[in-house]
Amino acid sequence: MNSSMVIGQYVPGDSPVHRMDPRAKITIIFFFVIVVFFANSVASYGSLALFALLSVGITKIPPRFIAKGLKPVWFLIIFTFILHLVVTKEGNVLFSVLGFDVYSGALIQGVAISLRFFLLILITSLLTLTTTPIAITDAIESILHPLKKVKFPVHELALMMSISLRFIPTLMQETEKISKAQASRGVDFRTGPIKERLKAIVPLLVPLFVSAFKRAEELAMAMEARGYQGGEGRTKLRELALRKVDYAVLVLFTFVIIAVFLTRA
Amino acid sequence: MEQSFLEFQNVSFQYREDSPIVLDDVSIQVNQNEWVAVIGHNGSGKSTMAKLMNGLLSPNEGYVYVDGLLLSEENIWEIRRKVGMVFQNPDNQFVGTTVKDDVAFGLENHGIPREEMVKRIAHSLKAVGMEEYEDHEPHRLSGGQKQRVAIASVLAVAPSMVILDEATAMLDPKGRKEIMHTVNQVRQERDVSVVTITHDLNEVTLADRVIVMNKGNVWFEGTPRELFEQKEDLQSIGLDIPLVSKFAHELKGLGLDVKTQPLNHEELMDELWTLHSTT
Ligand SMILES: Nc1ncnc2c1ncn2[C@@H]1O[C@H](COP(=O)(O)OP(=O)(O)O)[C@@H](O)[C@H]1O
Ligand SMILES: [Mg+2]
């Protein structure tokens, strides 16, 4: 089992982006995603792209990791681009390919939408690349904290997420073990017709589910034995704290937003 | 008279009204700083007994006293702080995403302030020799290491008693040794009672006292030495004695005057050479 699958996309590092409070990162990404839809000029796109690329640069994460994160969406980006070329009919005809007229407006729109897409994916993957899943969980718990007033089970949700994170590798190891055991008996769910493969997966899933339930029961018992009684009166080891770097980046990002709105066409 | 820390008074228990009685009128005690081993067949009620000790279950009849307190709904959390428990499966009791977080879990539950938590985590990981693994995820640890973290997690809360319910059963011999070494060490350094539930007879020899459970009853209570002297009786309920004891029994059978029941190789050797020198 490769370890990258286990820890998700996270690439350890010591850059300012890594060290930022995950809440600050999530906040920035949240507004970035909104603001991207307001960009409509070279300068406004430029400011956002500059911010995104600068952030990526600071992380010192090798580009191949970032490319890996973008891999599944390249297709989508290119598809949108081509779709725009074909469908949009604004501006002058620039050239024709295979009988299709490509308009200048289409080219501009295609580039703009693809760029928008690209920036969205880039900035959101930056979160998972520089933040451990557990830190993201902590941030979500902290951000959702006000919802406790309306009885939303914030603590329980966060605990569920962190336990899932804890058990993903364990269950993956187990899946691998069971699938090897089944494979050694000649069960094959990697090749063959889909119906056969689905059938072959049942003897894999059943023991996995049985064991998962047993684990859950034992874990609940162990948690109770260790004094777990819900979120009330609990203290926390991992503390989130906004620091200078967070404020600095937040201020910088505010300037970017202002720049985007000032340079809109 | 030694101070008793935990006491069962005529405790009976069954899981449901229509299910068989698992513990039948059991009265036992565990003294302060004492190491008690509990052995018995699968299904003889050992785990049930353990769960009654920290209020994971409560008796149908009889009383459970912990540190002078009658176990009840009101003091159950206080008692769980005093009585820590390590379970059999190393994976299914590891709550945190890292070693540090797992040790923190119990402390967080008991509302220990953060600064204190950091100190206690470092201290208890050191006690089990896992201080270098603070940031490791559980899937990068061996079974024995995970169990040591489980022990550290329990110790961090500063309990007066630690129960290990077949905590070594899923480990390889090396892992078992690690755990027993750790438990021994902890007992020397801290004032804790230890209850180990086990099938490993070598673990039994380390204890101060043994309780043998059979079909929901206490079948025997005494020192390991006394226990292994009763070879036939023990074998009559389907349990065995360690190899060293067997050997001593054989020697006795041959008419040799083996006086004390040896518990380990060293004792057997001593017994043998003194035997030789007297004849
Ligand atoms: N959660 C449960 N519900 C019903 N019966 C149980 C439960 N746990 C254990 N038992 C039964 O209680 C008896 C004693 O079990 P246990 O205390 O686990 O024994 P041991 O730990 O000595 O193997 C067994 O017959 C078992 O089937
Ligand atoms: Mg048991």
Read off the pLDDT of residues B80-100 as tens digits, 9 standing for 90 and up.
999 999 999 999 999 999 999
pLDDT, residue A7, reads: 44
Domain co-membership, A12 together with A124: yes
Domain co-membership, A49 together with A158: no
Considering the domain boundaries, does residue B217 fall inside one? yes
Distance CA B203, CA A180 (A): 35
Structure tokens at B102: 């797992």
Does ligand 1 come within 6 angstroms of the Cβ of B198? no
Region B154-171: mean pLDDT is 95
User: Side-chain half-sphere of A176: how many Cα atoms within 13 Å?
Assistant: 8
Q: Could you give the number of structural domains in chain B?
A: 1
Does ligand 1 come within 6 angstroms of the Cβ of B128? no
8 A C-beta contact, residue B14 and residue B20: yes
pTM of the model: 0.85
Considering the domain boundaries, does residue B266 fall inside one? no
Instruction: Quote the ligand 2 centre to A67 CA distance (angstroms).
Output: 51
Out of A134, A225, A233, the one facing B97 most closely (by C-beta) is A134
Interface residues from chain A to B (CB-CB < 8 Å): 6-7, 133-134, 162-163, 165-166, 169-170, 173, 214-215, 218-219, 221-229, 233-239
Considering the domain boundaries, does residue B235 fall inside one? no
Is the pLDDT confidence value at B261 over 70?
yes
8 A C-beta contact, residue A133 and residue A13: no
pLDDT, residue B277, reads: 60
pLDDT, residue A71, reads: 80
pLDDT, residue B43, reads: 92
Helix (H), strand (E) at residue A232: none
Phi-psi region of B177 (alpha: psi -120 to 50; beta: other; left: phi over 0): alpha
Considering the domain boundaries, does residue B213 fall inside one? yes
Give A-chain residues touching B157 at CB under 8 angstroms. Answer: 226-227
Distance CA B73, CA A182 (A): 47
Is the pLDDT confidence value at B57 over 80?
yes
Is the pLDDT confidence value at B213 over 50?
yes
Long-range Cβ contacts of A39-45 (<8 Å, 24+ apart): A39/A116, A39/A260, A39/A264, A40/A112, A40/A264, A40/A265, A41/A263, A41/A264, A41/A265, A43/A259, A43/A263, A44/A259, A44/A260, A44/A261, A44/A263, A44/A264, A44/A265, A45/A112, A45/A115, A45/A116
Considering the domain boundaries, does residue A144 fall inside one? no
Distance CA A83, CA B5 (A): 77
Choice between B276 and A115, residue whose per-residue pLDDT is larger: A115
pLDDT, residue A4, reads: 39
Considering the domain boundaries, does residue A55 fall inside one? yes
Give A-chain residues touching B87 at CB under 8 angstroms. Answer: 218, 221-222, 225
pLDDT, residue B276, reads: 63
pLDDT, residue A2, reads: 41
**String of b and e for A30-55 (b: at least 16 CB within 10 Å)?**
eebeebbeebeeeebbebbbebbeeb
Domain that holds residue B204: 4-222
Domain co-membership, A122 together with A252: yes
Region B268-275: mean pLDDT is 79
3-state secondary structure at position A93: strand
Distance CA A39, CA A51 (A): 13
- Domain with B37 in it: what CATH number? 3.40.50.300
Considering the domain boundaries, does residue B150 fall inside one? yes
β-strand B69-70 against B61-66: which pairing, if any?
antiparallel
Sign for the pseudo-dihedral over CA of B268, B273, B275, B276: positive
Distance CA B48, CA A219 (A): 17
Read off the pLDDT of residues B217-247 as tens digits, 9 standing for 90 and up.
999 999 999 998 887 788 888 887 888 888 8
Is the pLDDT confidence value at B154 over 80?
yes
Domain that holds residue A195: 152-225
Q: Whose CA is nearest to atom 12 of ligand 1?
A: B22
Considering the domain boundaries, does residue A164 fall inside one? yes
Considering the domain boundaries, does residue B11 fall inside one? yes
Considering the domain boundaries, does residue A138 fall inside one? no
- Residue found under tokens 């409560």: B58
Considering the domain boundaries, does residue B67 fall inside one? yes
Domain co-membership, A108 together with A13: yes
Domain co-membership, A23 together with A118: yes
Q: Could you give the number of structural domains in chain A?
A: 2
ipTM reported for the complex, 2 dp: 0.89
Considering the domain boundaries, does residue A236 fall inside one? no
Considering the domain boundaries, does residue B247 fall inside one? no
Q: Roughly what angle, to the nearest 10 degrees, separates helices A244-262 and A22-36?
A: 10
pLDDT, residue B2, reads: 67
Q: Which residues of chain A have pLDDT under 70?
A: 1-8
Considering the domain boundaries, does residue A19 fall inside one? yes
